[in-house]
Protein backbone atom coordinates (compact mmCIF):
# COMPACT_ATOMS: atom_id res chain seq x y z
CA UNK A 1 0.00 0.00 0.00
CA UNK A 2 1.18 3.51 -0.81
CA UNK A 3 -0.28 6.97 -0.27
CA UNK A 4 -0.70 8.57 -3.66
CA UNK A 5 -0.31 12.37 -3.64
CA UNK A 6 -1.37 13.95 -6.93
CA UNK A 7 -2.32 17.35 -8.25
CA UNK A 8 -4.61 17.17 -11.27
CA UNK A 9 -5.10 19.73 -14.00
CA UNK A 10 -7.63 19.67 -16.81
CA UNK A 11 -5.86 20.75 -20.00
CA UNK A 12 -6.96 22.17 -23.31
CA UNK A 13 -6.10 20.22 -26.44
CA UNK A 14 -3.48 22.87 -27.31
CA UNK A 15 -1.56 22.57 -24.03
CA UNK A 16 0.75 19.67 -25.00
CA UNK A 17 3.32 21.58 -27.00
CA UNK A 18 3.43 24.45 -24.50
CA UNK A 19 3.87 21.99 -21.63
CA UNK A 20 6.84 20.26 -23.23
CA UNK A 21 8.53 23.59 -23.93
CA UNK A 22 7.97 24.79 -20.36
CA UNK A 23 9.33 21.65 -18.67
CA UNK A 24 12.79 21.98 -20.23
CA UNK A 25 13.42 24.75 -17.66
CA UNK A 26 13.93 22.11 -14.94
CA UNK A 27 16.20 19.06 -14.70
CA UNK A 28 14.15 16.12 -15.92
CA UNK A 29 14.02 12.70 -17.53
CA UNK A 30 11.60 12.27 -20.40
CA UNK A 31 9.57 9.19 -21.33
CA UNK A 32 7.95 9.18 -24.76
CA UNK A 33 4.21 8.65 -25.16
CA UNK A 34 2.85 5.16 -24.49
CA UNK A 35 -0.63 3.75 -24.95
CA UNK A 36 -2.48 2.96 -21.73
CA UNK A 37 -5.78 1.13 -21.43
CA UNK A 38 -7.69 0.96 -18.15
CA UNK A 39 -10.77 -1.14 -17.38
CA UNK A 40 -12.75 -0.03 -14.32
CA UNK A 41 -14.90 -2.54 -12.45
CA UNK A 42 -18.03 -2.15 -10.35
CA UNK A 43 -21.02 -4.10 -9.04
CA UNK A 44 -24.54 -3.51 -10.32
CA UNK A 45 -25.38 -1.57 -7.15
CA UNK A 46 -22.17 0.53 -7.12
CA UNK A 47 -20.83 -1.12 -3.97
CA UNK A 48 -17.26 0.09 -4.52
CA UNK A 49 -18.43 3.65 -5.09
CA UNK A 50 -20.35 3.53 -1.81
CA UNK A 51 -17.17 2.37 -0.10
CA UNK A 52 -15.28 5.27 -1.75
CA UNK A 53 -13.13 2.79 -3.68
CA UNK A 54 -12.05 2.52 -7.29
CA UNK A 55 -10.83 -0.70 -8.94
CA UNK A 56 -9.10 -0.99 -12.31
CA UNK A 57 -6.80 -3.10 -14.45
CA UNK A 58 -4.24 -1.13 -16.44
CA UNK A 59 -2.49 -2.47 -19.50
CA UNK A 60 0.67 -0.99 -21.03
CA UNK A 61 3.25 -2.69 -23.27
CA UNK A 62 1.67 -6.13 -22.67
CA UNK A 63 2.07 -5.70 -18.92
CA UNK A 64 -0.89 -5.54 -16.56
CA UNK A 65 -1.51 -4.16 -13.11
CA UNK A 66 -4.55 -4.26 -10.83
CA UNK A 67 -5.03 -1.14 -8.71
CA UNK A 68 -7.46 -0.46 -5.89
CA UNK A 69 -7.73 3.14 -4.72
CA UNK A 70 -9.16 3.51 -1.25
CA UNK A 71 -10.59 6.34 0.80
CA UNK A 72 -8.77 9.65 0.85
CA UNK A 73 -9.43 13.32 0.44
CA UNK A 74 -9.51 15.84 -2.37
CA UNK A 75 -8.88 19.55 -1.92
CA UNK A 76 -8.89 21.75 -4.97
CA UNK A 77 -7.05 19.55 -7.44
CA UNK A 78 -4.92 17.87 -4.76
CA UNK A 79 -5.79 14.18 -4.37
CA UNK A 80 -4.42 12.06 -1.51
CA UNK A 81 -5.57 8.44 -1.47
CA UNK A 82 -4.47 4.99 -0.41
CA UNK A 83 -3.41 2.88 -3.38
CA UNK A 84 -2.80 -0.88 -3.66
CA UNK A 85 -1.07 -2.28 -6.75
CA UNK A 86 -0.72 -5.91 -7.85
CA UNK A 87 1.11 -7.11 -10.98
CA UNK A 88 -0.91 -9.49 -13.19
CA UNK A 89 0.18 -11.91 -15.90
CA UNK A 90 -3.05 -11.31 -17.85
CA UNK A 91 -5.87 -8.74 -17.76
CA UNK A 92 -8.10 -10.89 -15.56
CA UNK A 93 -9.59 -9.51 -12.36
CA UNK A 94 -8.62 -11.39 -9.19
CA UNK A 95 -9.32 -9.41 -6.01
CA UNK A 96 -8.12 -12.30 -3.82
CA UNK A 97 -4.59 -11.01 -4.53
CA UNK A 98 -5.37 -7.80 -2.67
CA UNK A 99 -4.80 -7.62 1.11
CA UNK A 100 -7.84 -8.88 3.03
CA UNK A 101 -7.70 -6.03 5.54
CA UNK A 102 -8.52 -3.38 2.91
CA UNK A 103 -12.14 -4.55 2.70
CA UNK A 104 -14.83 -3.62 5.21
CA UNK A 105 -15.38 -6.24 7.90
CA UNK A 106 -17.49 -9.26 6.96
CA UNK A 107 -17.03 -8.66 3.22
CA UNK A 108 -17.65 -11.86 1.24
CA UNK A 109 -14.71 -11.55 -1.14
CA UNK A 110 -15.73 -14.49 -3.33
CA UNK A 111 -19.22 -13.04 -3.75
CA UNK A 112 -17.81 -9.57 -4.49
CA UNK A 113 -15.50 -11.05 -7.13
CA UNK A 114 -18.46 -12.63 -8.94
CA UNK A 115 -20.48 -9.40 -8.84
CA UNK A 116 -17.75 -7.18 -10.28
CA UNK A 117 -18.11 -6.37 -13.98
CA UNK A 118 -16.41 -3.90 -16.37
CA UNK A 119 -18.18 -0.53 -16.13
CA UNK A 120 -16.14 1.85 -18.29
CA UNK A 121 -12.71 2.23 -19.85
CA UNK A 122 -10.10 4.90 -20.38
CA UNK A 123 -7.77 4.86 -23.36
CA UNK A 124 -5.02 7.45 -23.62
CA UNK A 125 -1.47 8.27 -24.58
CA UNK A 126 0.76 9.28 -21.67
CA UNK A 127 3.93 11.32 -21.85
CA UNK A 128 6.01 11.53 -18.67
CA UNK A 129 8.60 13.96 -17.36
CA UNK A 130 10.32 13.13 -14.06
CA UNK A 131 11.24 16.60 -12.81
CA UNK A 132 13.67 17.52 -10.04
CA UNK A 133 12.40 20.54 -8.12
CA UNK A 134 13.76 21.69 -4.77
CA UNK A 135 14.62 18.51 -2.93
CA UNK A 136 11.87 16.46 -4.58
CA UNK A 137 11.12 14.33 -7.61
CA UNK A 138 7.80 15.07 -9.28
CA UNK A 139 6.29 13.05 -12.08
CA UNK A 140 4.47 15.15 -14.67
CA UNK A 141 2.16 13.02 -16.80
CA UNK A 142 0.24 14.39 -19.79
CA UNK A 143 -2.71 12.18 -20.83
CA UNK A 144 -4.59 12.47 -24.14
CA UNK A 145 -7.41 10.11 -25.00
CA UNK A 146 -10.98 9.34 -23.93
CA UNK A 147 -13.20 7.95 -21.19
CA UNK A 148 -15.84 5.61 -22.61
CA UNK A 149 -18.74 3.27 -21.91
CA UNK A 150 -20.67 1.27 -24.49
CA UNK A 151 -23.00 4.23 -25.06
CA UNK A 152 -21.05 7.40 -24.22
CA UNK A 153 -17.57 8.85 -24.40
CA UNK A 154 -15.80 12.13 -23.78
CA UNK A 155 -12.31 13.41 -24.59
CA UNK A 156 -9.61 13.35 -21.94
CA UNK A 157 -6.83 15.92 -21.61
CA UNK A 158 -5.15 15.90 -18.20
CA UNK A 159 -1.88 16.87 -16.59
CA UNK A 160 -1.11 15.05 -13.35
CA UNK A 161 1.67 15.93 -10.94
CA UNK A 162 2.57 13.04 -8.64
CA UNK A 163 5.02 13.35 -5.78
CA UNK A 164 7.45 10.47 -6.23
CA UNK A 165 9.97 11.51 -3.60
CA UNK A 166 10.30 14.51 -1.31
CA UNK A 167 7.92 17.12 0.08
CA UNK A 168 4.35 17.97 -0.84
CA UNK A 169 5.24 21.65 -0.48
CA UNK A 170 7.74 21.30 -3.33
CA UNK A 171 5.06 19.87 -5.60
CA UNK A 172 2.68 22.73 -4.80
CA UNK A 173 5.43 25.31 -5.36
CA UNK A 174 6.32 23.65 -8.68
CA UNK A 175 2.65 23.75 -9.71
CA UNK A 176 2.58 27.48 -8.96
CA UNK A 177 5.26 27.95 -11.61
CA UNK A 178 3.86 25.43 -14.07
CA UNK A 179 0.48 27.19 -14.37
CA UNK A 180 2.23 29.93 -16.33
CA UNK A 181 1.55 27.50 -19.19
CA UNK A 182 -1.84 28.59 -20.53
CA UNK A 183 -4.55 25.99 -20.97
CA UNK A 184 -4.43 24.39 -17.51
CA UNK A 185 -7.01 24.53 -14.70
CA UNK A 186 -7.25 22.59 -11.47
CA UNK A 187 -9.49 19.54 -11.66
CA UNK A 188 -11.22 17.84 -8.76
CA UNK A 189 -12.87 15.16 -10.96
CA UNK A 190 -10.83 11.99 -11.37
CA UNK A 191 -10.98 9.78 -14.46
CA UNK A 192 -13.09 7.37 -12.42
CA UNK A 193 -15.58 10.09 -11.48
CA UNK A 194 -16.02 10.95 -15.15
CA UNK A 195 -16.46 7.31 -16.03
CA UNK A 196 -19.18 6.83 -13.42
CA UNK A 197 -20.99 9.88 -14.80
CA UNK A 198 -20.98 8.36 -18.29
CA UNK A 199 -22.03 4.95 -16.94
CA UNK A 200 -25.04 6.53 -15.26
CA UNK A 201 -26.31 7.90 -18.56
CA UNK A 202 -24.21 11.06 -18.84
CA UNK A 203 -27.04 13.18 -17.47
CA UNK A 204 -26.40 16.93 -17.25
CA UNK A 205 -24.86 17.92 -13.95
CA UNK A 206 -27.35 20.09 -12.05
CA UNK A 207 -26.73 23.48 -10.49
CA UNK A 208 -26.77 22.99 -6.70
CA UNK A 209 -27.61 25.42 -3.94
CA UNK A 210 -24.82 25.81 -1.41
CA UNK A 211 -25.70 23.36 1.39
CA UNK A 212 -25.52 23.70 5.15
CA UNK A 213 -21.96 22.58 5.89
CA UNK A 214 -22.02 19.36 7.93
CA UNK A 215 -19.50 19.36 10.79
CA UNK A 216 -18.99 17.20 13.84
CA UNK A 217 -19.93 18.85 17.12
CA UNK A 218 -16.42 18.22 18.48
CA UNK A 219 -14.32 19.87 15.76
CA UNK A 220 -12.06 22.83 16.58
CA UNK A 221 -12.45 26.35 15.24
CA UNK A 222 -9.46 25.74 12.97
CA UNK A 223 -11.03 22.56 11.57
CA UNK A 224 -14.28 24.44 11.05
CA UNK A 225 -12.45 27.16 9.11
CA UNK A 226 -10.70 24.61 6.91
CA UNK A 227 -14.02 22.83 6.26
CA UNK A 228 -15.74 26.11 5.36
CA UNK A 229 -13.08 27.22 2.88
CA UNK A 230 -12.82 23.72 1.41
CA UNK A 231 -16.59 23.64 0.88
CA UNK A 232 -16.47 26.97 -0.93
CA UNK A 233 -13.65 25.75 -3.18
CA UNK A 234 -15.51 22.50 -3.94
CA UNK A 235 -18.67 24.48 -4.80
CA UNK A 236 -16.61 26.62 -7.16
CA UNK A 237 -14.93 23.74 -8.97
CA UNK A 238 -18.12 21.70 -9.30
CA UNK A 239 -20.01 24.58 -10.91
CA UNK A 240 -17.03 25.54 -13.04
CA UNK A 241 -17.37 22.09 -14.63
CA UNK A 242 -21.15 22.53 -15.04
CA UNK A 243 -20.66 25.95 -16.63
CA UNK A 244 -18.01 24.69 -19.04
CA UNK A 245 -20.39 21.94 -20.14
CA UNK A 246 -22.88 24.53 -21.35
CA UNK A 247 -25.16 25.36 -18.41
CA UNK A 248 -25.04 29.15 -18.30
CA UNK A 249 -26.92 29.36 -14.99
CA UNK A 250 -23.86 27.84 -13.27
CA UNK A 251 -22.13 31.21 -13.67
CA UNK A 252 -24.22 32.54 -10.76
CA UNK A 253 -23.27 29.47 -8.70
CA UNK A 254 -19.57 30.15 -9.34
CA UNK A 255 -20.11 33.72 -8.17
CA UNK A 256 -21.90 32.37 -5.09
CA UNK A 257 -18.92 30.11 -4.36
CA UNK A 258 -16.58 33.11 -4.45
CA UNK A 259 -18.88 34.90 -2.02
CA UNK A 260 -18.88 31.83 0.26
CA UNK A 261 -15.09 31.98 0.37
CA UNK A 262 -15.02 35.70 1.12
CA UNK A 263 -17.66 35.24 3.81
CA UNK A 264 -15.65 32.40 5.36
CA UNK A 265 -12.59 34.64 5.60
CA UNK A 266 -14.76 37.33 7.21
CA UNK A 267 -16.19 34.89 9.78
CA UNK A 268 -12.77 33.91 11.05
CA UNK A 269 -11.25 37.38 10.67
CA UNK A 270 -11.15 37.99 14.42
CA UNK A 271 -8.95 34.91 14.89
CA UNK A 272 -6.86 34.95 11.70
CA UNK A 273 -5.44 38.41 10.93
CA UNK A 274 -6.71 39.92 7.69
CA UNK A 275 -3.16 40.35 6.43
CA UNK A 276 -2.84 36.55 6.42
CA UNK A 277 -5.40 36.31 3.61
CA UNK A 278 -5.37 39.80 2.07
CA UNK A 279 -3.93 38.71 -1.27
CA UNK A 280 -6.37 35.81 -1.58
CA UNK A 281 -9.37 37.97 -0.71
CA UNK A 282 -8.33 40.56 -3.29
CA UNK A 283 -8.14 37.88 -5.97
CA UNK A 284 -11.61 36.62 -5.03
CA UNK A 285 -13.03 40.15 -5.18
CA UNK A 286 -11.53 40.73 -8.63
CA UNK A 287 -12.97 37.44 -9.90
CA UNK A 288 -16.42 38.38 -8.57
CA UNK A 289 -16.21 41.69 -10.42
CA UNK A 290 -15.37 39.86 -13.64
CA UNK A 291 -18.33 37.50 -13.16
CA UNK A 292 -20.68 40.45 -12.74
CA UNK A 293 -20.44 40.77 -16.52
CA UNK A 294 -23.14 38.45 -17.85
CA UNK A 295 -21.29 38.15 -21.17
CA UNK A 296 -18.17 36.56 -19.69
CA UNK A 297 -17.20 33.34 -21.46
CA UNK A 298 -16.88 30.16 -19.37
CA UNK A 299 -13.76 28.94 -21.18
CA UNK A 300 -12.02 32.31 -20.87
CA UNK A 301 -12.88 32.66 -17.19
CA UNK A 302 -12.16 29.11 -15.97
CA UNK A 303 -8.81 28.87 -17.78
CA UNK A 304 -7.80 32.44 -16.97
CA UNK A 305 -4.50 32.85 -15.09
CA UNK A 306 -6.28 34.69 -12.26
CA UNK A 307 -8.85 31.93 -11.71
CA UNK A 308 -6.26 29.13 -11.78
CA UNK A 309 -3.79 31.07 -9.61
CA UNK A 310 -6.50 31.77 -7.03
CA UNK A 311 -7.63 28.15 -6.76
CA UNK A 312 -4.05 26.91 -6.42
CA UNK A 313 -3.13 29.65 -3.94
CA UNK A 314 -6.16 28.77 -1.80
CA UNK A 315 -5.27 25.07 -1.97
CA UNK A 316 -1.73 25.85 -0.81
CA UNK A 317 -3.03 28.18 1.92
CA UNK A 318 -5.17 25.38 3.32
CA UNK A 319 -2.81 22.44 2.84
CA UNK A 320 0.23 24.25 4.23
CA UNK A 321 -1.66 26.13 7.00
CA UNK A 322 -0.31 29.50 5.89
CA UNK A 323 -2.28 31.34 8.58
CA UNK A 324 -0.10 29.80 11.30
CA UNK A 325 2.77 32.18 10.57
CA UNK A 326 0.54 35.19 11.31
CA UNK A 327 -0.78 34.23 14.74
CA UNK A 328 0.78 34.03 18.20
CA UNK A 329 0.36 31.28 20.80
CA UNK A 330 -2.76 32.92 22.21
CA UNK A 331 -4.29 32.96 18.76
CA UNK A 332 -3.37 29.33 18.18
CA UNK A 333 -5.10 28.42 21.44
CA UNK A 334 -8.27 30.18 20.27
CA UNK A 335 -8.19 28.23 17.03
CA UNK A 336 -8.15 24.98 19.01
CA UNK A 337 -11.30 25.96 20.92
CA UNK A 338 -14.75 24.51 20.20
CA UNK A 339 -16.17 25.36 16.78
CA UNK A 340 -19.65 24.69 18.19
CA UNK A 341 -19.17 27.38 20.83
CA UNK A 342 -17.72 29.73 18.21
CA UNK A 343 -20.78 29.06 16.04
CA UNK A 344 -23.13 29.78 18.97
CA UNK A 345 -21.58 33.22 19.34
CA UNK A 346 -21.41 34.04 15.63
CA UNK A 347 -24.97 32.84 14.91
CA UNK A 348 -26.28 35.00 17.74
CA UNK A 349 -24.50 38.00 16.25
CA UNK A 350 -25.85 37.27 12.77
CA UNK A 351 -29.36 36.92 14.14
CA UNK A 352 -29.09 40.24 16.00
CA UNK A 353 -27.74 41.94 12.89
CA UNK A 354 -30.56 40.65 10.68
CA UNK A 355 -33.20 41.66 13.22
CA UNK A 356 -31.75 45.14 13.54
CA UNK A 357 -31.36 45.50 9.77
CA UNK A 358 -34.88 44.51 8.78
CA UNK A 359 -36.71 45.96 11.78
CA UNK A 360 -35.55 49.42 10.68
CA UNK A 361 -36.78 49.18 7.08
CA UNK A 362 -39.37 51.86 6.23
CA UNK A 363 -39.52 51.95 2.42
CA UNK A 364 -39.82 49.06 -0.10
CA UNK A 365 -36.64 50.07 -1.92
CA UNK A 366 -34.69 49.64 1.31
CA UNK A 367 -35.22 45.89 1.15
CA UNK A 368 -33.38 45.79 -2.16
CA UNK A 369 -30.56 47.89 -0.71
CA UNK A 370 -30.12 45.29 2.03
CA UNK A 371 -30.40 42.20 -0.22
CA UNK A 372 -26.63 41.71 -0.49
CA UNK A 373 -26.24 41.86 3.29
CA UNK A 374 -29.00 39.28 3.73
CA UNK A 375 -27.44 36.93 1.17
CA UNK A 376 -24.03 37.11 2.85
CA UNK A 377 -25.41 36.52 6.32
CA UNK A 378 -27.41 33.49 5.15
CA UNK A 379 -24.28 32.03 3.55
CA UNK A 380 -22.51 32.53 6.88
CA UNK A 381 -25.30 30.61 8.62
CA UNK A 382 -24.81 27.75 6.12
CA UNK A 383 -21.13 27.62 7.13
CA UNK A 384 -21.87 27.64 10.87
CA UNK A 385 -25.01 25.53 11.34
CA UNK A 386 -23.86 22.04 10.43
CA UNK A 387 -23.54 20.64 13.96
CA UNK A 388 -27.09 21.56 15.06
CA UNK A 389 -30.41 19.74 14.59
CA UNK A 390 -30.93 20.15 10.88
CA UNK A 391 -34.72 20.32 11.08
CA UNK A 392 -34.44 23.30 13.46
CA UNK A 393 -31.89 24.95 11.16
CA UNK A 394 -34.21 24.51 8.16
CA UNK A 395 -37.16 26.01 10.07
CA UNK A 396 -35.09 29.07 11.01
CA UNK A 397 -33.71 29.52 7.49
CA UNK A 398 -36.99 29.11 5.61
CA UNK A 399 -38.60 32.55 6.24
CA UNK A 400 -35.32 34.37 5.66
CA UNK A 401 -34.89 32.52 2.37
CA UNK A 402 -38.49 33.35 1.41
CA UNK A 403 -37.74 37.00 2.10
CA UNK A 404 -34.59 36.76 0.00
CA UNK A 405 -36.51 35.26 -2.96
CA UNK A 406 -39.28 37.83 -2.65
CA UNK A 407 -36.76 40.68 -2.75
CA UNK A 408 -35.16 39.19 -5.86
CA UNK A 409 -38.61 38.88 -7.48
CA UNK A 410 -39.51 42.50 -6.56
CA UNK A 411 -42.62 41.35 -4.66
CA UNK A 412 -42.79 44.56 -2.66
CA UNK A 413 -46.24 44.16 -1.09
CA UNK A 414 -45.41 41.07 0.97
CA UNK A 415 -41.92 42.06 2.12
CA UNK A 416 -42.82 43.60 5.51
CA UNK A 417 -44.85 40.54 6.50
CA UNK A 418 -42.09 38.12 5.42
CA UNK A 419 -39.48 40.14 7.31
CA UNK A 420 -41.68 40.08 10.41
CA UNK A 421 -42.06 36.29 10.20
CA UNK A 422 -38.31 35.84 9.82
CA UNK A 423 -37.50 38.07 12.76
CA UNK A 424 -39.80 36.00 15.02
CA UNK A 425 -37.91 32.73 14.47
CA UNK A 426 -36.55 31.24 17.73
CA UNK A 427 -32.85 30.47 17.95
CA UNK A 428 -31.66 26.94 17.20
CA UNK A 429 -28.24 27.56 18.78
CA UNK A 430 -27.34 27.59 22.46
CA UNK A 431 -26.85 31.32 22.99
CA UNK A 432 -29.90 33.34 21.99
CA UNK A 433 -28.41 36.76 22.67
CA UNK A 434 -25.88 38.76 20.62
CA UNK A 435 -22.80 37.56 22.53
CA UNK A 436 -19.89 39.96 22.44
For 205-225, write each residue's pLDDT tens digit: 999 999 999 999 899 999 999
What pLDDT is recorded for position 228?
97
Residue 436 has pLDDT above 90, yes or no: no
pLDDT of residue 364: 84
Gyration radius from the chain CA atoms: 24
- The predicted pLDDT at position 199 comes to 94
d(CA 94, CA 283): 49
Instruction: Work out the angle between the directed axes of helices 339-359 and 221-244 (0-180°, nearest 10).
Output: 70
Decide if 65 contacts 88 (C-beta within 8 A). Answer: yes
Please state the pTM of the whole predicted model: 0.91
C-alpha torsion 121→190→304→241, nearest 10? 80
3-class secondary-structure state, position 94? coil
Query: Is pLDDT above 90 for 2?
Result: no
By three-state DSSP, how is residue 121 classified?
strand
Burial (CB < 10 A; 0-12, 13-18, 19+), residue 67, is middle
Longest dimension (CA), the chain: 78
Compute the average pLDDT of residues 142-156: 95
Q: Does residue 42 surpass a pLDDT of 70?
A: yes
Amino acid sequence: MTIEIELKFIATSQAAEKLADALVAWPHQYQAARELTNIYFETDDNQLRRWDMGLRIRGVDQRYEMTLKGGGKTLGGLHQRQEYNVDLVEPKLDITQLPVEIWPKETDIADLQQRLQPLFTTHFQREIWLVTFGGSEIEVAFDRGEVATESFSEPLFEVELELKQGERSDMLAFAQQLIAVSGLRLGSLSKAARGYQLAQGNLPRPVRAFPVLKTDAKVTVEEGMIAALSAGLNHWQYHEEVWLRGNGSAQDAVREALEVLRQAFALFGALVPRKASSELRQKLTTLEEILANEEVNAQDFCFSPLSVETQLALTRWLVESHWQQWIDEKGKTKLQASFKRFSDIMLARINADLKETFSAVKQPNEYHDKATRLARQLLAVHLLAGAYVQEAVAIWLAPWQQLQLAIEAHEENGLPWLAGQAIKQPAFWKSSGPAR
